[in-house]
Structure 1
Amino acid sequence: MAAVGSLPAVAAAPGARLESVRVLAGLFREAQHRNLGLISTSVHLIKLLHGIQIKEELLLTALRCSLQFLGNIAAGNGDSQNSIWKCAFPDLFLTCLTCSDKKVVSYCCMVLFTCLNSEKVRELLDPGNLTVALRVLKVYKEQLESEWSLLIVTDYLLKCPELVEALYAKLSNQERVTLLELMMVNVCEKNLHTSEEMNVFMRHADFLAGCFQEKYEAVLKLTSAEDADDEEALVAIRLLDVLCEMTSNNGQLEYLQTLPGLLETAIDTLRLTHLAGKQAVNVFTATHAMTGQEEVLHPAVDFKSHLIRLIGNLCYKNKENQDKVYELDGIPLILDNCSIDDNNPFLNPWAVYAIRNLTEQNERNQELIAQMEEKGLADNSALESMGLEIEKRDDKLILRSARKKPSIRKN
């Protein structure tokens, strides 16, 4: 047995290398029974093995085993986790996360996940350490089967709003889309139970709403067929998707309803895309028949539906936002979108939902729609499709349900 703190020689001869691996295996088995202080030795060995540009399977196996050993010895042992972190962070993680061998990368993510906690996550904010978090995201994007990289992002990185903002600034647009998709899944699956979780959510909401308000006009690039894959536009689309999911939870919705500028931006975006679709034939033009399979796959499909969904959610039982939509001439805009549109298959249902939320206990908004219908500015068939009708009472036009009004609920 080699002395603790010394390394088996990694010689050039195949026989010597085989012996090194056998000695290493013996050390690992011994470490399972008693603490031999092998953490620093293992870290040194990993760096050594990686540094000699491993090609032989035996040495590659030794590298994998070394990482597995660190992961196993760290499991459930705070002292070992701290020792590994002290010896390995950030150099070893950066070294192994860039390895061409997928198993080495996966085992490295396992070690990183096992050692992380809320305090260590904040160390990633240091400019010199941020590269570790960036590399984990790249691993997830390039190796979607890597569950450990996914767990690092969802269980740790996304719980630190400052880190998310720092990462977002460094990511490419493609990588931002990946991060936003992970955030959307996280929002869908999570209910907020503690004040800390709510604080994290509010920071994320502030940041994402700000990003959307800054970049929403990028979607207009999609009016050109040549820019159908514009990455900046794809980011704006995904930002809207995340905001829609955030407003689909009652506890989260109340905060988003108060965010300055978000409702205005949603209405402005709807107006711009609606106008763009009328000025020329493009993905924002209402169509009743698909012209090809590419239309179905276009990233902007359902974009206007999601805008109206967001507007409807922000106005749910919120008189201030209902009035704001009125003042911004948003009601005629939404009514003008009550049509069958293959580019937005769910546009009409979301418009129905938005109008119901805009008119609930709001006589001024009801009266506006009634007056529009009387003057022929609102399509009566659209109102009928919503289950609404205009009734005249004492020279006053009333918008009411044509049948028993279903309960208005947020989606």
Structure 2
Amino acid sequence: MAAPMEHMTAVCAELERLLSEDVAAGEDVVRRVTELFRGPEYREVAEEKIFTLILQILSRALQEIQTQIAASESSEDRWYLLSAECFRCLRNACVQCLKNQNTIRNLGLIEKAMAVIRVFSTSSIAQESCLVAFRCGLQFLGNVAGGNQDSQNSIWKRAFPHLFLNCLNHEDDKVFSYGAMVLYTCMDEDKMADLLDPANLTVALDVISAYSRRSDTDWLHLIVTDRFLRSPELVKQMYASQNHTDRMSLLELILSKISEKSLPVEMASLRQIALFLSDCFQKQCKSVLKLAAPGDGEEEAQVVIRLLDLLCEITSDPDLLTCLQCCSGLLDTAVDTLRLTHLAGKQAKNVFTSTHSESLGSDLTHAAVGFKAHLIRLIANLCYKNRENQDKIYQLDGIPLILDSCSIDDNNPFLNQWAVYAIRNLTENNEKNQELIASMERQGLADSALLESMGLHVEERDGKLLLKSVKKK
């Protein structure tokens, strides 16, 4: 360890000399410290003195920049370049080094860094060197906060909400990405109360708006799926305050998390979110009928379609299915919506009308593609091993509706497969529903070829009509 300590002592002496002579010429010396801090052996022997010197240099740079801005003068690049190098130095010092993180925080370097970054984020300086310093400052904040709760709290106190809002709406991709990284790193469950404050909800809303524009940013995805979804109340407030485009993005992110089948979010939170989304679907579902007559309302209809996709995925998860099976209103709504869209497609030629062509639907790209099939999928899931819901479908005349909806339809790929699954779930250990389908076939109300395509047939035994599986025959 002698060599690293000697090197650090030597650069400390050079930094002290610069402070007494020409600080502006200190970029090269600070860069040497930056390079030394790439090695863990140098980070481990760093003493408080060197960070005190970096603090003094950064303070001088800030003072010069503020003076020139106040005088409406163009700041010299050397002060921005020096600030950037100080931030790189501090960034490297914090890598996997709790000791340095704490020393830097205790010396007040986070406060000083925030003062410098605030100038970069709020001024109209157009110099590239200023932008570079801004990026490096954000990288430093991310590193000093990594795995350090006290540093995270210190940054949050000074950066929320204004710095995060500036970064989320910044045109520079790196500033945007680094800002999102700092937001994710500093956010924990204790911070949700700040986001729930109506005055600060804009931060959460801007995360989703930013994702709508830059969906390839992993940090935004993580902020929503690993942070926001832990707070059902936040999800509700966001959804209520969003436009249709941002609602689609929020639902897309929830769908991606549910689809992972590996949910770090507490299941209790997801159940509350699932119930909320069920309620939204019930309230908004009739908006989808606007697609039958092109015009206003398509965006709202697309939200309903995405809600249905999400409910199908939620009810495919055993841990979430049971909470929605208890929502009798959801099953009623699904059957009612299926009936309305089916009727709309029969009354006039529109997106709900069954079509069949040799192209197999490859040319169909409208929003309603698959909607009826997904309604039947949702009904099937809600009736899975649930006698109450099986009987509810009987009472709603849902079985004839499902059978009547089953025809070759390019608008609804896999419609027949979901219908088979629905009939299977509706008839499992339910003689009443079995008898209904059998009697429909005998009366000609159910197409025997359709039943056979589902792997079912009707036979008479001891004067009773039985619905049997073809495979068991």
Bucket of the pairwise TM-score, normalised by the shorter protein: over 0.9
Query: Secondary structure of 2:467's match?
Result: strand
Pairing 1:146-225 to 2, within 5 Å after superposition: 146-191=217-262, 197-225=266-294
**Cα distance in 2 for residues equivalent to 1:340 and 1:20:** 67
The one-letter code matched in structure 2 to 1:164 is V
Of the two, which has the highest radius of gyration?
Answer: 2
Residue of 123, 141, 155 corresponding to 1:84? 155
Deviations 1:108-166 (A, max 9, x none): 11111111111112320001111111111111111122111111111101121100000
**Cα distance in 1 for residues equivalent to 2:258 and 2:75:** 54
Alpha-carbon offset, residue 398 of structure 1: 1.0
The 1:42/1:293 distance shift into structure 2, 3 A limit, reads farther
Moved more, 333-342 or 5-14: 5-14
The answer for the alignment partner of 1:251 in structure 2 is 319
The 1:224/1:15 distance shift into structure 2, 3 A limit, reads closer
Give the fraction of aligned pairs with identical amino acids, expressed as a percent. 54
The answer for the alignment partner of 2:23 in structure 1 is none
Alpha-carbon offset, residue 291 of structure 1: 8.1
Query: Secondary structure of 1:336's match?
Result: helix
Is the contact made by 2:229 and 2:270 (CA closer than 8 Å) also made in structure 1?
Answer: no
Is the contact made by 2:291 and 2:301 (CA closer than 8 Å) also made in structure 1?
Answer: yes
Residue of 290, 301, 313 corresponding to 2:381? 313
Give the alignment's TM-score, normalised by structure 2: 0.81
Shift >6 Å, 4+ stretches:
12-15, 290-294
The answer for the alignment partner of 1:297 in structure 2 is 365
**Cα distance in 1 for residues equivalent to 2:363 and 2:157:** 53
Query: Secondary structure of 1:277's match?
Result: helix
The 1:304/1:20 distance shift into structure 2, 3 A limit, reads closer
Is the contact made by 2:229 and 2:235 (CA closer than 8 Å) also made in structure 1?
Answer: yes
Is the contact made by 1:315 and 1:322 (CA closer than 8 Å) also made in structure 2?
Answer: yes
Structure 1: state its 5+ residue gaps.
406-411
**Cα distance in 1 for residues equivalent to 2:87 and 2:323:** 55
Query: Secondary structure of 2:459's match?
Result: strand
Is the contact made by 1:8 and 1:24 (CA closer than 8 Å) also made in structure 2?
Answer: no
Aligned length: 402
The answer for the alignment partner of 1:351 in structure 2 is 419
Residue of 324, 332, 338 corresponding to 1:264? 332
The 1:18/1:400 distance shift into structure 2, 3 A limit, reads same
Say if 2:203 is the partner of 1:135: no
Q: CA RMSD in A?
A: 2.1
Is the contact made by 1:290 and 1:342 (CA closer than 8 Å) also made in structure 2?
Answer: no
Is the contact made by 1:8 and 1:23 (CA closer than 8 Å) also made in structure 2?
Answer: no
Q: Whose helix fraction is larger, Structure 1's or Structure 2's?
A: 2
Say if 2:83 is the partner of 1:18: no
The answer for the alignment partner of 2:27 in structure 1 is none
**Cα distance in 1 for residues equivalent to 2:389 and 2:307:** 21
The one-letter code matched in structure 2 to 1:9 is E
Query: Secondary structure of 1:114's match?
Result: helix
Deviations 1:40-96 (A, max 9, x none): 111111121223212111011111111111111111211111111111111221122
**Cα distance in 2 for residues equivalent to 1:323 and 1:250:** 21
**Cα distance in 2 for residues equivalent to 1:176 and 1:160:** 17
Q: Which has the higher contact order (CA 8 A, sep 6+)?
A: 1
Is the contact made by 1:373 and 1:379 (CA closer than 8 Å) also made in structure 2?
Answer: yes
The answer for the alignment partner of 1:408 in structure 2 is none
Alpha-carbon offset, residue 26 of structure 1: 3.2
**Cα distance in 2 for residues equivalent to 1:49 and 1:106:** 16
Deviations 1:238-265 (A, max 9, x none): 0000000011112221221111301000
**Cα distance in 2 for residues equivalent to 1:192 and 1:107:** 26
The 1:306/1:25 distance shift into structure 2, 3 A limit, reads same
Is the contact made by 2:357 and 2:410 (CA closer than 8 Å) also made in structure 1?
Answer: yes
Deviations 1:4-61 (A, max 9, x none): 7662411366673313431552365257254232111111111212232121110111
The answer for the alignment partner of 1:144 in structure 2 is 215
Say if 2:446 is the partner of 1:378: yes
